[in-house]
Structure 1
Amino acid sequence: MTTTSSVNGTSSTSSINSTLQSGSSSAADLQNNFLTMLVTQMNNQDPLNPMDNSQLTSQLAQISTVSSMQTMNATLNQLLSQVSASRAMDSAALIGRTVMVPGSHVSVKDGVTGQIGVDLPSTADSVTVSVLDQGGNVVRTIDMKGQVAGVHDITWDGKNDAGALVADGDYTFKVSATANGSSVQPVALVYGKVQSISGDSSGVLVDVGNGQTAGVNDVRRIL
């Protein structure tokens, strides 16, 4: 008696899924592989228990879905690339403009401080700003008291807690804000003039000088 080997839909589906996950085959390759497996399956099916129409239809639908998804992914990637390029071109208008972006560095020159601010995601009943020198020592503490949610400028007159002007140089600042004893996760902000526009895998970036960049989506204010 001739022995027939049984090839079921599960092995075919597993092979398709494995090929798709590897990401090494195109939609055309997947279709060719599927058709080869399908013909082999039909030639070697059990005559006493042949594959019915519903199984055939199901497997054809699977390969059609896989092919459509790969085509859709390719189209979406092209659209994303075009959108990214378009956003970079639109963002070029920011060059030369002063923007407010996340940052914690502030400089003092001739007794004049750089502009700084804070973004509060929710209303806070207490907002405190600590300015630190390069040694990490707190030279000035600013109590902003309660503030509503939103972007706020921080006023620092360039003086320390004793009322004397601090030395020119670079400083950092930290902002703490709480509501009912819990932090509202404030974001420290700095102003800077946009020097250039660039892009990487994370999106469009604005260069505000001093080696500092920020995502264009992180720009809080444009002057």
Structure 2
Amino acid sequence: MITATQPTTQNTAQAPAATPPKTSGLATDFQTFLLMLTTQAKNQDPLEPLDSSQYASQLAQFSMVEQQTRTNNLLSGLSSSMGSVNLEELTRWVGMDVRTASAFQFDGAPKTLFAQAEPAATNAVMVIRDNAGTVIDRIAVPKSEAEFVWAGVDGDGNPLPKGSYSATLESYDGDKLLSQKLASAYNKVKEAQSSDDTILLTLENGQVVSAAEVTAVRTGA
């Protein structure tokens, strides 16, 4: 049995701000070097000025120290971005309930499913399948609704065992099938990992989905 429900507003999580990199020891040495060079230029003997070749050498050293300081600051920023920030990004996913168009874990309690029939549809049917892909039930649902509660029973009203199931919404124009859409449902995130600049989420039913597939997030129960 499936009951249509009113949609509810979901909470979204926000990633914490990154901590700015600290000043390195090289940056302090650079400031000291700059002060010494400036003082030397101010206090040189006008009658015996600093040899131009030595001055050029010191300017070259000045340029090298400045460049190294900038490089170190850049590397420090990249390290922070690729390390702690990404770790915090992954950590915040674990334990959250995410909504994706995928199979869902049924724990014995009614499950909310999300799907929208085609605008041209005259009727719609929600098809429930078990983990092996076997059709468990076909339930007529209101074509104008987009949120439904599945009771977790078969066509005869018998409670189904806990496990992984999926639901597909079929839209019909009379007897003509217009489309089949995999319904969305909430699953708890058990693990999050980064792979090739993509965050992969392992759900409670063992499925792995991309964070880009998530359409809503709420605090896990």
TM-score, normalised with respect to structure 2: 0.48
| Structure with a larger share of its residues in helix | 1
Pick 1 or 2: higher relative contact order, CA cutoff 8 A, min separation 6: 2
